[in-house]
Amino acid sequence: MNPLIKTGLESLLKIKIDENQNSNLISYKDYSSIIHGVNHEHNQINLKNEDNLNSKMLIGPDNITFFIRHLSGRTYEMKSNFKCLISEIKNLFFKNFENSIKPSEMVLNYNGHKLENNKQLCDYNIRDHSTLTLYFENSTYSIDKNTFDPSFDYDFTSVVDKANAFVRGGHYYQRPCGSFRFALKVLGRFNEPMEEWLGQTGKEGGSEWAVSYHSSLNEENCLTTPSFEVAKKNAFTFTYNGLNYYLLFQNRINPSTFKREVIKNDEYWKSPNSSSQHIRPYSICIGRV
């Protein structure tokens, strides 16, 4: 595995990555849920001891249903008041699902953020059908060999494009110049044999999706940006060999479902939610800060 992206992912997830495929595997689904809060084809598991849960966390107008996906691959359904503390969520998970895992050992991640025990679900804009990712800080994991597709990697580190030189899905495409793009393996992942969503014709009104970067979730929608420069301002940063780098995700976004929004003079695209019907991460871009 490329040492640069290995270091970046270790820094982002606060874990150690091993090449051994017998370790706990991180897959494409994990990247989707960690960065975007996307829930992919979960296996619904009901609560074992629902009657033992504190009723104030299950009853009321502010109650939500959400999912916790363990990096081992299992996904659990939970119900709670959206004002519930993260520490209480960990205790509920311990009592009802995995009593071999101490709450103090749990790390919950959502939308690229490690969730702090003294914060509430609503502090992170966690909503109905959101997916949190569970793992153990400083534990060792490996990357599923089917996660990346090196044949589509591209070196943009010395590339300088003219403005509005490229179009995808009827919208201008700002390529990630100055970065190295590590391709995620997406061909055949979404049961679309023609893979037209990955097209490069630039035509508007067809099945080709536009390109955006990273994401941020607000109370109602998912925000991405077509501007690589804007994305870099909000990107995760890490240090490798004494140099600082940014790491961000590049997506294809459904042009028929997003709305343009300007926030502090920067352009963003607002999607109804972060499911794969609207947004699909397809590469990770890393470059010098």
pLDDT of residue 39: 44
pLDDT beyond 90 at 230: yes
**What are the residues facing 77 on neighbouring strands?**
67
140 — pLDDT class (breaks 50, 70, 90): confident
- DSSP conformational letter for 36: I
Structure tokens at 74: 């299992």
pLDDT of residue 200: 93
pLDDT beyond 90 at 71: no
Give 35 or 277, the one with higher predicted confidence: 277
How does pLDDT run across 159-171, given as a tens digit for each residue?
A: 999 888 899 999 9
pLDDT of residue 184: 93
Q: What percent of the chain has pLDDT above 70? A: 82
pLDDT beyond 90 at 206: no
How large is the average pLDDT for residues 239-243? 97
pLDDT beyond 80 at 216: no
pLDDT of residue 215: 64
Domains of the chain by residue range: 3-143, 150-288
How large is the average pLDDT for residues 98-125? 86
Structure tokens at 22: 């017998």
Asked if 8 and 235 touch (Cβ cutoff 8 Å), the reply is no
Q: Which of 182-196, 213-227, 251-265 has the lowest mean pLDDT?
A: 213-227
Considering only CA atoms, which of 119, 66, 37 is closest in space to residue 58?
66
- DSSP conformational letter for 5: H
Give 122 or 39, the one with higher predicted confidence: 122
Total length of the chain: 289
Q: Which of 27-31, 178-182, 232-236 has the lowest mean pLDDT?
A: 27-31
For the whole model, what pTM was predicted? 0.79
Map 154-178 to HEC letters: EECCCCCCCCCCCEECCEECCCCCC
Q: Which of 53-57, 178-182, 188-192, 228-232 has the lowest mean pLDDT?
A: 53-57
Q: Which one is the CATH code of 3-143: 3.10.20.90, 2.170.190.11, 1.10.150.120, 3.90.1150.10? A: 3.10.20.90
pLDDT beyond 50 at 188: yes
Q: Which of 42-51, 125-134, 254-263, 265-274 has the lowest mean pLDDT?
A: 42-51
Q: What percent of the chain has pLDDT above 90? A: 41
Q: Quick check: helix, strand or coil at residue 108?
A: strand
pLDDT beyond 60 at 13: yes
pLDDT of residue 61: 53
pLDDT of residue 36: 52
